[in-house]
Amino acid sequence: MNNTETQGLNHPVHVICGTARIGSEDIALRSGDVLVATLVDAYMSVYKGKDQSISQRMRWWQAKIGHHTLLSVDEDHIQAITLDLDDTLWPVAPTISAAEQDLLHWLLVNTPETAKLTQITEVKAAIRQSVLEKHTFKAHDLGFLRCEVIRETMRLAGDDPQLANEAYAVFDAARQRVTLYEGVKEALARLSTKFRLVAISNGTADVFVTPAAPYFHAAFKAHEVGVAKPDVKIYQAATSYLALDADQVLHIGDDAHADAWGAREAGLYTVWINPQDHPWTHDSPQPWTIRHLSEVADHFQV
């Protein structure tokens, strides 16, 4: 088992598998076979009563275990933060449900036969599968796919498929009505005092028509970039806009694969928002994991 001694502290810190050794004492970081890549501060809070200077001085660390390299950087190195939107800043399920109801009401008035078909689960699933197979090159464009599902449903129902765009516009307008998680607006306001914030999303939400709008400099959406997370190109588009190296940017998101793993593959530092305590299933070490965005603002003391 490999270990690394972190220098420059009052006490040497030996980072081994799942344990931080402070002086002669072992403090368990997290159970598991590999060390979690996270902030020592998050785990050292239990140690403050024993030696305040340790938790004050320990910020970021680097450890190497086998073929894994857990990278960290001084917080002053981070110049910008990219954020996922759906299920990171707001819950997406109630938004989509409400948008689908608005769409159904429009269909009932304007294309009632189409409305009937959309309420048959098996038919709806078959149409969606057919559209996905026909437009594999547009898999990253969720808005296009939804519009084409509406169009195909209209065609099968005998309604005018040219009405699909108008119907989709009804859905899309409702899809922008989001409700931020409690405390997220305040956390964004705090982070924006120190960092440029940029949205990176696979969905069709427009952050600039949401309550989060005042805090963002730019947004990169999969359907506009041409690829979806975890493709590194969408992260590279954001870092190019920021004119920063990848390791000067911290990405925050709820999706373990698209956000935490994908951003790391692109060279960004990552934070995984995981309030439900889902297990980390990738071979790579688990990134810094939090339950709420405010934890990042707390760490950076903004």
Domains of the chain: 4-70 (no CATH), 75-91+179-299 (3.40.50.1000), 93-175 (1.20.120.1600)
Residues 6+ apart with CB under 8 A from 221: 199, 201, 202, 203, 204
Phi then psi for residue 24, to 5 deg, are: -105, 5
Residues in the chain: 302
pLDDT, position 54 = 36
pLDDT, position 129 = 96
Are the C-beta atoms of residues 48 and 27 closer than 8 Å to each other? no
Question: What's the rounded mean pLDDT across residues 6-22?
Answer: 36
Q: Hey, what are 110's tokens?
A: 């304007």
Q: How confident is the model at residue 46 (pLDDT cuts 50, 70, 90)?
A: very low
pTM of the prediction?
A: 0.76
Phi then psi for residue 70, to 5 deg, are: -95, 110
Question: What's the rounded mean pLDDT across residues 7-20?
Answer: 35
Helix axis angle for 164-175 and 142-157, nearest 10°, is 140
Q: What is the mean pLDDT of the chain?
A: 81
Q: Is the pLDDT reported for residue 263 higher than 90? A: yes
Q: Is the pLDDT reported for residue 47 higher than 70? A: no
Q: Is the pLDDT reported for residue 261 higher than 90? A: yes
Give the up-direction half-sphere exposure of residue 96: CA atoms within 13 A in the CB hemisphere.
11
Q: Between 206 and 25, whose confidence is greater?
A: 206
Question: What's the rounded mean pLDDT across residues 173-202?
Answer: 98
Residues 6+ apart with CB under 8 A from 37: 70, 71, 72, 285, 286, 287, 288
Question: What's the rounded mean pLDDT across residues 205-233?
Answer: 97
Q: Between 75 and 222, whose confidence is greater?
A: 222
